[in-house]
Chain A
Amino acid sequence: AQSVTQLDSHVSVSEGTPVLLRCNYSSSYSPSLFWYVQHPNKGLQLLLKYTSAATLVKGINGFEAEFKKSETSFHLTKPSAHMSDAAEYFCVVSEWGGADGLTFGKGTHLIIQP
């Protein structure tokens, strides 16, 4: 069985400051991990994915995440927040590289203060 825990339901940062969205996972296998973003009234968009290659993964829009097996974590970061980053973010785990039904975390709502 696999699971994902997003440690914060809401995160609020000021524009131009760093963003940290925390995610811990549990998996019986070597998992693949993803971060998706969901803007209001839009479909889910893949930000980045880890599939057992480099542990530091760079994604779109300046986001990156680091896979830490010892801590079972996959936190999402961005050096400088932009107003357009305001959205819901989901940490996701897969046991088949993304080709199986995905297990989603509960989501973190990112708020950007002007």
Chain B
Amino acid sequence: GAVVSQHPSRVICKSGTSVKIECRSLDFQATTMFWYRQFPKQSLMLMATSNEGSKATYEQGVEKDKFLINHASLTLSTLTVTSAHPEDSSFYICSAIDYPSSYEQYFGPGTRLTVT
């Protein structure tokens, strides 16, 4: 099946700094990528949808200036958490689809962000 990778798998940063998370589709072209956030022992919440070459669409309540998403190529999307604070600590998961060829989302393994 299709493979999606995320890097880094874990990151610890200090409050006030920015951190970038990469999401890559390894063996298919991802026309659309999604970013989700998962709080400890809770469900996944959709943060934003990004289409290659377009601005991301953010869900209500997600600060677009804080969570910068770039989908510059068909295999790479990045999520940058700017001026991170401890409340941004979470598990961030991306998924990718090759729409309209396929409707199935393939998920990355996730990135654990801890802000100290």
Contacts and interface: CB of A to CB of B under 8 A. Distances in A.
Interface of A: 32, 36, 41-46, 49, 51, 90, 96-107
A106 B42 contact: yes
B77 interface: no
Contacts of B46: 101-103
A104 B109 contact: no
Contact of A106 (B43, B93, B99): B43
B43 A105 contact: yes
Contacts, number: 53
A47 to B, nearest CB: 12
16 contacts: A36-B107, A43-B93, A43-B108, A43-B109, A43-B110, A46-B104, A51-B103, A98-B97, A99-B105, A100-B49, A101-B34, A102-B95, A102-B105, A104-B43, A107-B42, A107-B43
Nearest to B94: A43
Contacts of B99: 99
Contacts of B36: 104
Interface of B: 4, 32, 34, 36, 41-46, 49, 59, 93, 95, 97, 99-100, 103-105, 107-110
A108 to B, nearest CB: 11
B43 A43 contact: no
A10 to B, nearest CB: 11
